[in-house]
Amino acid sequence: MSRMEDISTPKRTKEIIQRHGFAFKKSLGQNFLIDQNILSKIVGAAELDETKGALEIGPGIGALTQKLAETAGKVTAVEIDQRLIPILKEVLEPYPHIRIVHGDVLKLDLRTLIEAEYAGQSGVSVVANLPYYVTTPIIMKLLEEHLPLENIVVMIQKEVAERMAAAPGGKEYGSLSIAVQYYCEPELVCIVPHTVFIPQPNVDSAVIRLKVRKEPPVAVDDEAFFFDVVQASFAQRRKTISNNLKARFFAKEGREELERLLQEAEILPSRRAETLSLHEFARLSNVLIRAGLK
């Protein structure tokens, strides 16, 4: 395979952008990474080798795609911006095991795509520098569809990464923390300063690795109801778990019934949602659904 010059240097990135007359679209959250060290950390965290595949979302002009191709046996990159497709095909031409797909990852049938693209690979990971404005919808789609993934390694807004990895008790901990930790084991890989992008975003980023669990760490009777209980519990963060659940599931006359169910779940009514662990939420949702609250 012929080795080409790194796309991720500031000089090469600017040269590609200028040669193609590419103009950044703010609405698509386009920020291209120009730091080799960070790219290496992202690829390293994905634990790839020539037997494994990488699915990239939003490749931009291919800086991360190139690094993935040097490690993975197969790379498929999904890009929503039609203007980038010819650029990607040109700059990544030396790598025959990269395929560029034009499409919106939120609308694609990813299970079918993964089955078709990685039939010969021993495992698949998602690796991406995600636009801030669609980070959570993309990650939740990857998780809720129970796709056959090993790792999801993404560069996202620092505050969102911290929320995903947060432990109970702090202000970062919330329904997103619980959703991500139900499906994955999160690990912050590194913080990325805003200065290593063209153009520079207003805030810092972080790389997070989500190691996809084969089974959730808790047994819930009904997954959808479990997440409904979590959302309801965090509806107003300053309110107690009792008040939030009352507002969602009980009429005024159900107050005593709720107190009894919380007692059965071994949860004090005066606690706030941010103090409850994943296991406590699982226990609570199972008690509520068995009481016929769905």
Q: Which domains does the chain have, with CATH numbers?
A: 10-212 (3.40.50.150), 223-290 (1.10.8.100)
Q: Is 245 annotated as contributing to ligand binding? A: no
Q: In this model, does residue 24 exceed pLDDT 90?
A: no
Percent of the chain surpassing pLDDT 70: 97
Q: Is 259 annotated as contributing to ligand binding? A: no
Q: In this model, does residue 1 exceed pLDDT 50?
A: no
76 touches 56 (CB < 8 A): yes
18-27, 78-87, 188-197: least confident range: 18-27
> DSSP class of residue 20?
T
Longest CA–CA span in the chain (Å) reads: 73
Reported confidence tier of residue 2, pLDDT bands at 50, 70, 90: very low
| Summary mean pLDDT of the chain | 93
Q: 208: closest CA among 117, 137, 127, 94?
A: 127
**How high is the pLDDT of residue 251?**
67
Q: Is 31 annotated as contributing to ligand binding? A: yes
Q: Is 44 annotated as contributing to ligand binding? A: no
Half-sphere exposure of residue 37: CA atoms within 13 angstroms, side-chain side: 5
Q: Name the burial class of residue 240, with classes exposed (0-12), middle (13-18) and buried (19+) by CB atoms within 10 angstroms of its CB.
A: middle
Q: Is 73 annotated as contributing to ligand binding? A: no
18-22, 82-86, 204-208: least confident range: 18-22
Reported confidence tier of residue 133, pLDDT bands at 50, 70, 90: confident
Please enumerate in sequence order all residues whose Cβ is within 8 A of that of 175, keeping only pairs 6 or more positions apart, or say none.
227, 230, 231, 233, 234
Q: Is 169 annotated as contributing to ligand binding? A: no
* Residues 26-30, mean pLDDT to the nearest whole number: 70
